[in-house]
Amino acid sequence: MTSEQLQKKIYSKLAAALGLVLVLAIAATFGKQTMPLTGSTMAVLAPGVVIDAGHGGYDGGAEWGDVIEKNINLSISLHLREILLAAGYRVALTRYGDYSLIEQETSNPKKREDMARRLAVIEQNAPDFFIVIHCNAMASTRWSGAQTFCQHESEQGQELAKDVQHYLREITATTRFASSLDHYLLRESNITGCLVEAGFLSNSVERELLQQDSHQRRIAAATWLGLEKYSRDKGENVEGN
């Protein structure tokens, strides 16, 4: 797909989604509905998503020269937030800037506490989905390509990961397939989620791409399209039953 075709596709989807936003706004005016991400007892129309931008603050994640994973994760997460909000989703992030979720003084082990707090943010928001954003890095520079992961044996997570990967393959150069792993957040939460490894910082071509807004938006758009496909297929299955 050329980038022009991609843009057309995304804009037409966004236009449809923006129509939905208008309908929701009108419905809210008449019905006096609010759409907080919490408050699951309310009749909520729009799906909720929590985005976890991996690392932050003292924890840079993978580094390659002056390119630091935490910054790219946050940029992609903010692009994803923007797209999802435009598409009528309710969205929260585990972090909105370059900070960790723990105080520097917290001992015992920082990383575990940081992950526990991310999990707490996800659970408190009670979203329909959560998306974890990271970048990869390997000792060898030859590996490249975005890849989506689900928790081992999570059927719903597997479906979502496959759907996101489908669009990553369509609108980025990746030839990878969705896979599974053991990841704290995906394991400990009952909410349907997946981990998007946006690409390899260790590969020079991909490292350049990952720093570009246009490429970050592609990763975000693929994730959104995957969420849409998952919801659509699930809706059809429910109707089919």
The stretch near Zn ion (CB under 5 A) out of 15-23, 35-43, 55-63, 90-98 is 55-63
The stretch near Zn ion (CB under 5 A) out of 59-67, 108-116, 186-194, 209-217 is 59-67
The stretch near Zn ion (CB under 5 A) out of 7-15, 20-28, 35-43, 57-65 is 57-65
DSSP state letters, the chain: --HHHHHHHHHHHHHHHHHHHHHHHHHHHHH-----SS-TTS---S-EEEEEE--BTTB--SEETTEEHHHHHHHHHHHHHHHHHHTT-EEEES-SSS--SS-TT--S-HHHHHHHHHHHHHHHH--SEEEEEEEE--SSS-----EEEEETT-HHHHHHHHHHHHHHHHHSS-----EEE--HHHHH--SEEEEEEEEETTSHHHHHHHTSHHHHHHHHHHHHHHHHHHHHHHHHHHHH-
The nearest distance, CB 26 to Zn ion, in angstroms, is 41
61 binds Zn ion (CB under 5 A): yes
134 binds Zn ion (CB under 5 A): yes
Residue closer to Zn ion (CB basis): 55 or 162: 55
The nearest distance, CB 69 to Zn ion, in angstroms, is 5
47 binds Zn ion (CB under 5 A): no
Measured distance CA(175)–CA(168) in Å, rounded? 9
The stretch near Zn ion (CB under 5 A) out of 51-59, 110-118, 150-158, 205-213 is 51-59
Residue closer to Zn ion (CB basis): 61 or 226: 61
The nearest distance, CB 78 to Zn ion, in angstroms, is 17
The nearest distance, CB 22 to Zn ion, in angstroms, is 37
199 binds Zn ion (CB under 5 A): no
Binding footprint of Zn ion, residue count (CB under 5 A): 3
Q: Which of 10, 47, 48, 54 binds Zn ion (CB under 5 A)?
A: 54
Residue nearest to Zn ion (CB): 134
Measured distance CA(154)–CA(158) in Å, rounded? 6
| Contact positions vs Zn ion (CB under 5 A) | 54, 61, 134
